[in-house]
Structure 1
Amino acid sequence: MGKPIVFLHGGILSTYDYSRVLDLVHRDCRAIAFDRPRYGYSERPRREKVTATVQARLLHGALQKVGVERPVLAGHSMSGPLVLSYALNYPREISGAVLLGAAVYGGEAYPASRGNLLLSRLITTPVIGDFLSNTVLPPLGCRIVNSVVKATFAPDPAPPEYLKLASVLWPRPGQIKANWEDILYFSPTASQLSPRYPEIWVPVAIVIGEQDPFLDPKLQSNRLHRELPHSRLIKLPDTSHMIPTVRPEALFDALRWVWSETADQI
């Protein structure tokens, strides 16, 4: 069935982020795209903190159930720690990884979580958070979703079909709460994982848009490239954050590098 690759989206939408990529790679591999917990059409555990490490565990269980062995994991944006947690916790059950505009370090390296810390704590608080997620936030999300998506795509135009789907999925109460939980848990989890990143020995392609407004390369991609013993840093000119949608061919090129490095190890 071809080489298995698993696609993991960031913090806005769902597996739809990879629709153009799937058109490119389906002949070369077994491609699977997952909705992360409570995004798109998936569910989310209620009795534990669903950190990136927990999401890696859930993904591992799902891949075992569908019979996927030693895949390449491709993670966009906030999926970075999920992918690297998987590589650390299941080192013999992953062939390699592709990180796309991925944040993987917390604290000062990830100001988004610091700036939104108070709001994320409020939204994830029992009772109060559920009230806000089901009353105030959905209509607010409907009003701002277009501007948020357009800013995330800029300087590229946001595809009309993406805007349409985002306006349906993004403001839902469950997805709103999941997104703010991810923001709240991001820095502590990334800070816990990052000292172990040099232990990752599988090939990792680090792809970054040179116009990405959310990431400081010195604190994220460049640092990770230095710390991973088997990595390649790929910088895309005139490219912002939404690499899977606007530059699917770059993702495919990164995959080919990972596959070639994996073949060299066999």
Structure 2
Amino acid sequence: MNGFLIYIITIIMFLIMLFVLNRIVVYRAETKFPSTGEFIEVDDIKLHYYKKGDGRPVIFLHGGILCAEDFNNVLDLAKDDYQVIAFDRMGYGYSQRSKKEKITPMVQADILHKAIKKMNIKNPILVGHSWSGLLVLSYALNYPKELAGIVLLAPGAYAERYPAGKGDLLSKIVITPIIGKLFLHILLVPLGQLMVNVMLKPTFKPDSVPLKYQQRVKALWLRPNHFKANREDIISFVPAAKKLSIHYHKINVPTQIVIGEKDPFDTKEDSYQLYNDIPHSNLIECPNAGHMLPQAHPKAVIKALEKLFNSK
């Protein structure tokens, strides 16, 4: 009996140690990579964003890994010609995530719309990468008269090719009460360190992963709230895509679709299908590029913006 008790106490102490380690890692991450942008509050939710330049407004929305920092190279190139704004989506980076309702791409589009209104931004261009392609498509369907156009970078758009459509055990674990909290606050840091490299290499391929970007992902993506937001978004994608995709043919705002020639993901096929579904859209294929266009090929993003404005 004493041996069994010692065994239980050892396990508990080990779990406590992992919990403390998790808290230390989060603290160090937010100390090393603090918020450096601005905040706006919408529906009691604080959204974090970066803003640079003056001129025609362009709003950037990142994919499912990190945050607005995905577009830091693009912002530096575009700030002389545009007013560029990159948001941390709800729950990512330093933006809060609502706990009052289930967060879907449509809900995120509505919150973004309220933020844009509050910031007094008129007729922006929305640029969405990867997962945020669906968010931008939702916005274009609901608020077409309030947009100058949209740019979709390697966008996810259809349910049938989305990996989570076949089941995503990790996401289900993360959102399960009690079990999810145990995973997020105890196991995420040690297991997540292994996941980062496996995830980033194909995302950037054939380009290499910048060291600083890798460090930032290991620091910020592995925070419990950020990681949970990512897994919730993965689960919400398929039902939202099924609902929205039957309406893509109704989109009539100027649309530029950009894909990497060597993108290994199914977003490449989604892009071709979108090009056929959205009337008057334009497709740009970026040579020798993979999926992470904002970080690795910022000039391709600028080119898409220029084509959109020149086509009007």
TM-score w.r.t. the length of structure 2 is 0.80
Question: How far 1:17 moved relative to its partner?
Answer: 0.6
SS in 2 for 1:97: strand
- Aligned amino acid, residue 52 of structure 1: P
1:109 to 2:161 alignment = yes
1:41 to 2:94 alignment = yes
- 8 Å CA contact 1:213–1:240 kept in 2: the answer is yes
**Off by >4 Å, runs of 4+ in structure 1:** none
Match in the other structure for 1:237: 287
Counting only pairs closer than 5 Å after superposition, residues 1-266 of structure 1 correspond to structure 2 as 1-106=54-159, 108-110=160-162, 112-215=163-266, 217-218=268-269, 220-262=270-312
- 8 Å CA contact 2:149–2:308 kept in 1: the answer is yes
- 8 Å CA contact 2:66–2:220 kept in 1: the answer is yes
Whole-Å separation in 1 of the counterparts to 2:61 and 2:175: 23
**Length, aligned pairs only:** 259
- Aligned amino acid, residue 238 of structure 1: N
Whole-Å separation in 2 of the counterparts to 1:23 and 1:121: 38
SS in 2 for 1:135: helix
SS in 2 for 1:235: strand
Show CA shifts across 1:114-135 (max 9, x none): 2443332221123322221111
Which range moves more in the overlay, 59-68 or 133-142? 133-142
Whole-Å separation in 1 of the counterparts to 2:69 and 2:227: 17
Which range moves more in the overlay, 66-75 or 125-134? 125-134
Whole-Å separation in 2 of the counterparts to 1:50 and 1:189: 11
- Aligned amino acid, residue 255 of structure 1: L
Which range moves more in the overlay, 203-212 or 147-156? 147-156
State percent identity of aligned pairs. Answer: 47
Show CA shifts across 1:97-118 (max 9, x none): 1111111111x222x1124433
Question: How far 1:179 moved relative to its partner?
Answer: 0.7
Question: How far 1:258 moved relative to its partner?
Answer: 1.2
Whole-Å separation in 2 of the counterparts to 1:47 and 1:66: 24
Gaps spanning 5+ residues in structure 1: where? none
Question: How far 1:5 moved relative to its partner?
Answer: 0.2
- 8 Å CA contact 1:146–1:167 kept in 2: the answer is no
- 8 Å CA contact 2:125–2:149 kept in 1: the answer is yes
TM-score w.r.t. the length of structure 1 is 0.94
- Aligned amino acid, residue 161 of structure 2: A
Larger radius of gyration: 2
Whole-Å separation in 2 of the counterparts to 1:174 and 1:216: 26
Higher relative contact order (CA 8 A, sep 6+): 1
Whole-Å separation in 2 of the counterparts to 1:88 and 1:128: 37
- 8 Å CA contact 2:155–2:267 kept in 1: the answer is no
- Aligned amino acid, residue 56 of structure 1: A
Whole-Å separation in 2 of the counterparts to 1:129 and 1:261: 48
Whole-Å separation in 2 of the counterparts to 1:147 and 1:189: 27
Whole-Å separation in 2 of the counterparts to 1:259 and 1:43: 33
Show CA shifts across 1:190-217 (max 9, x none): 1100011111101111101121111253
Whole-Å separation in 1 of the counterparts to 2:309 and 2:184: 42
Show CA shifts across 1:131-159 (max 9, x none): 21111123211233133222211110111
Coordinate RMSD, CA, aligned:
1.3
- Aligned amino acid, residue 86 of structure 2: A
Whole-Å separation in 2 of the counterparts to 1:84 and 1:133: 31
Whole-Å separation in 2 of the counterparts to 1:253 and 1:145: 30
